[in-house]
Amino acid sequence: MRRLLLASSGIGALPRLVGAAGLRFAFVPTAAGPDADSKPWVQNDRRQLDLLGCTSSTLDLARGELEDVEAALDGAGGVFLSGGNSYLLLWHARRSGFAELVVPLVESGALIYVGTSAGALLAGPDLGPAASLDNRRVVPELESSLALGLVPFTVLPHDDDPEARERHDAIVADHPEHDFVRLGDNCAVVVRDDTAEVVDSPQVR
């Protein structure tokens, strides 16, 4: 069964998707940049996993090559992609071979995919309609904004923030052909095979 949890920041809904306790994640902080471990949202994501009884090992795609990704995914029950610059995350997901490896593993049900903010955007079909073009300038080598395509919609995270909500209004208006799901910080999309449901997903404390 294909299983994904796509959130703004709270992952409290994860136990609804899987018995989370004891699950081992390959934790990808790459979107937050080279000093990712100092970023409060990365620290918060790790803390939430710990409180749910999960274990995690870091997989920084900016430093990894294909063999590193293969080793990190071997034996993992899930991948957790934290927030930051979604274009930076996409670039390194492709460059490292992560994108090629992880999609069939998630599609087959071998891995659970959890993404917060940029990590949630990456699961969709295309970053282009939603992600900031300013962020794309960080990775001029990136030729396409096509993302992983694990779900047919794009998450618009942090929709309860007034500035984000205004930007999301413009994005939705400018791309009527695109399917968006707007999420506040205490909501998530739970995906089971072809069924997607927006649920309450508070911070784990």
Report all structural domains of the chain as residue ranges with CATH numbers, in order of start. Answer: 3-200 (3.40.50.880)
Residue 202 and residue 8: Cα distance in Å, rounded? Answer: 10
Strand partners, 199: 188
Report which residue type is found at 99.
A
Residue 36 and residue 101: Cα distance in Å, rounded? Answer: 23
Residue 15 and residue 3: Cα distance in Å, rounded? Answer: 12
Q: Which of 10, 13, 47, 8 is nearest to 27 (CA)?
A: 47
Residue 20 and residue 155: Cα distance in Å, rounded? Answer: 23
3 state DSSP class of 88: helix
Residue 160 and residue 147: Cα distance in Å, rounded? Answer: 25
The pLDDT value recorded for residue 20 is 64
Residue 177 and residue 47: Cα distance in Å, rounded? Answer: 37
Taking a C-beta distance cutoff of 8 angstroms, is the pair 116, 158 a contact? no
Find the DSSP H helices in 52-161. 66-73, 86-95, 98-107, 118-122, 133-136
Tokens 């994640």 belong to: 25
**For the chain, which ranges sit under pLDDT 50?**
none
Q: Write out the two tokens for 139.
A: 């990775």
Tokens 């998530």 belong to: 188
Q: Write out the two tokens for 137.
A: 């300038």
Residue 69 and residue 111: Cα distance in Å, rounded? Answer: 14
Q: Is the dihedral of CA 93, 99, 101, 105 positive or negative?
A: positive
| CA 45-50-55 angle, 5° bins | 100
Report which residue type is found at 182.
R
